[in-house]
Amino acid sequence: MQKTVRRLCAATRERTALLALLPGAGRPLLAVLVAVRVLQALLPAATALVTARLLDAAATPGAGTAGAVLLVGAVLLLGQTCSVFQRPLVTLVRGRIDARHRADVMRLLTRTATLDVVESAEVQALVRAATADPREWIEKTPAEGALGQLSVLVRWVGLVSTAAVVAAWSWWLVPLLVVPAVVVRHLVRGQWVRHFRIWVDGLPENRRAHYWGELTSAPAEAKELRTFGLGAWVVDRRQRHLHAQLDDVWADDLRAAREKWWVLLAAVVPLGAAFVVAAVGTTRGHGTVGALAGLLAAGWGVFSAVTGTGDALMVEGARPVVRAAEALRARLTEPETETVPGAVREIETETRHVPGTATAPEPAAPHVRLEGVTFAYPGSSGPVLRGLDLEIRPGELLAVVGLNGAGKSTLTKVLAGLYEPSAGRVTADGVDVRAIGARAWRRRVTVVHQDFVRYQLSLEDNIALGQVGGDRPWPDPDAVRGAATDAGLGPVVDGLPAGWRTPLARSRTGGVDLSGGQWQQVALARALYATRAGARVLVLDEPTAHLDVRTEAELFRRLAGITQGVSTVLVSHRLSTVRLADRIVLLADGRIAESGTHDELMALGGSYAHMFALQAQRFARGYDDRLETGVLS
């Protein structure tokens, strides 16, 4: 009982939340839509009345029918006008509400300061449910639910008005029509609920089928499908998952078709009986033929108003979206530290400066320290970083090396404020970066991630995304060109059909795709653009993995000049490159195991020296031509 009450309360709250979305479409628009819907709901009763009047006028000798004909015409015209206007009104209302809802969800997601929230499986599932982008017939958007709920309410207008017409003939006909209508509604609704559940249960199979289906048309996967001859295997897998879901659905369709006889019986017998009673009554002198015709029309109106389940389905399909959006709001609403204590106000308010374009003083690179930093991924068995201490001195080039999985990328993300340490802290000039605020800190730190993003935008925009917002014009063409030149993109730009404006996506008109190495240079240029806009810590996570030897060597020869006044943290497996750094740290077991210059670490004879010797041997045996050609010595 308590459970039922709680379920009813939740349903009422969610339905109210759906209705509350409607004013978001704009009050005047909503008012017109409600007026149209109410008029439409009144039409069956109006039709019944004017039909009765016309028939009576026609049956009465000498009575004029012109007035009655005009009334019938007016009702028909009103009906047509309503249905003509209803469609665009609904489209507008739906578009506005859903666009606003999706933007709200996106805002919520992008506002979260750290990655762990977005990465969690729970949040991903909520996002999938709340984005309201229906991929199945059982899913409805919030606007569809809101409009459905409006129709459910307006349906009462139709029910009351048609019931009043019927009651005018004889009140006891009203329950005779309403009771079987309620039974039919119950039966039909039960079938839909069952069908709905079968679909929901089969959704995991459906998603697997979609996954394999999409592989057959995705350009990236098309390569492998052909290389390994996986085409038929993938199609077969998709079919198997689809059958695993749809066999149950189709069985239920058959069952529902068989049950339709009961529904038909429940509708036809009482409705037929009511109409027969009315017809017999008319032949015995109770009312006119016109009144009987009106009664039949209104009776059908009563029945339709009760049995229609389409709107209720819209509401049911949208309720999970509203629920997920509420849960997401509760989960993601985290206050971001925007208030900056006095000690670091300077960092927050510094004028961001593009060299050569403004006279503001250059902000200095901060002295960054990681103090006893411990970090574990949610749900993982142990921490990746364990009480790690590291200092990044202003303006230095610090290299971080370590085996695969040692935690180098994790370290870069903690440094950039994308993850918060579970213990310890990151400080800039002695101030905890949490006190500075994630947004303010990230304007000071820029990162080229290992898995950087290839935006489907022009080359210019791809670079200028390094720093958006602020009071400078965007994109800043001088800063874009300077950063591109520093990243070695000059020859690439010359070869692009529309130069800087060329879209870097083959799917776009006039677009091109770049090679892996060229994309890496674009990502580097993006980070260098950020340094031109004020970032003072540049983190490069494997920035040259796709670059050829010559481009990489050339880049590093210029790196010190390019990043003057900026602290650079370079994560790399290429130790021949790393040796050029001011300082090298080796990450092992979640801590800094070794630290020093290349010569100091070689003299130490530890893990770094061992790794370097191994790589040098491999290169000397021809795995890499850098040592032989003397590009890197």
Residues binding ligand ATP (CB under 6 A): 119, 377, 380, 384, 402, 404-410, 450
CB of 544 to ligand ATP, least distance (A): 14
Edge-to-edge strand list for the sheet holding 583-588: 445-448, 537-541, 567-571, 397-401, 583-588, 591-596
Tell me whether residue 247 or residue 589 sits nearer to ligand ATP (CB atom): 589
Tell me whether residue 418 or residue 528 sits nearer to ligand ATP (CB atom): 418
Residue 55, both tokens: 């028939």
CB of 5 to ligand ATP, least distance (A): 41
Residue 268 near residue 276 (C-beta atoms within 8 A): no
Tell me whether residue 410 or residue 568 sits nearer to ligand ATP (CB atom): 410
CA angle 163, 168, 172 (to 5 degrees): 70
Four-residue CA torsion sign, 545, 550, 551, 554 = positive
Tell me whether residue 409 or residue 427 sits nearer to ligand ATP (CB atom): 409
CB of 409 to ligand ATP, least distance (A): 3
Tell me whether residue 37 or residue 408 sits nearer to ligand ATP (CB atom): 408
Question: Coil, strand, or helix at residue 572?
Answer: coil
Tell me how far CA of residue 71 lies from CA of 61, 76, 129, in angstroms.
19, 9, 49
CB of 552 to ligand ATP, least distance (A): 17
Residue 68 near residue 54 (C-beta atoms within 8 A): yes
Tell me whether residue 394 or residue 606 sits nearer to ligand ATP (CB atom): 606
CB of 372 to ligand ATP, least distance (A): 18
Which residues are CB-contacts of 526 (< 8 A; sequence separation ≥ 6)?
Answer: 448, 452, 462, 463, 464, 465, 466, 483
Q: What's 56-76 look like in SS3? A: HHHHCCCCCCHHHHHHHHHHH
Amino acid letter for position 8: L
Tell me whether residue 277 or residue 588 sits nearer to ligand ATP (CB atom): 588
Residue 463, both tokens: 């670079």
CA distance 525 to 488: 9
CB of 405 to ligand ATP, least distance (A): 4
Q: Residue 570 belongs to what H/E stretch?
A: strand 567-571
Residue 426 near residue 370 (C-beta atoms within 8 A): yes
CB of 115 to ligand ATP, least distance (A): 7
CB of 410 to ligand ATP, least distance (A): 3
Tell me whether residue 82 or residue 414 sits nearer to ligand ATP (CB atom): 414
561: how many CB neighbours lie within 10 A of its CB? Answer: 8
CA distance 422 to 474: 37
CA distance 134 to 241: 20
Helix axes 203-215, 173-201, angle to 10 degrees: 50
Tell me whether residue 481 or residue 574 sits nearer to ligand ATP (CB atom): 574
CA distance 419 to 417: 5
CB of 484 to ligand ATP, least distance (A): 27
CB of 373 to ligand ATP, least distance (A): 13
Tell me whether residue 65 or residue 120 sits nearer to ligand ATP (CB atom): 120
Q: Which residue has the tokens 């959704």?
A: 203
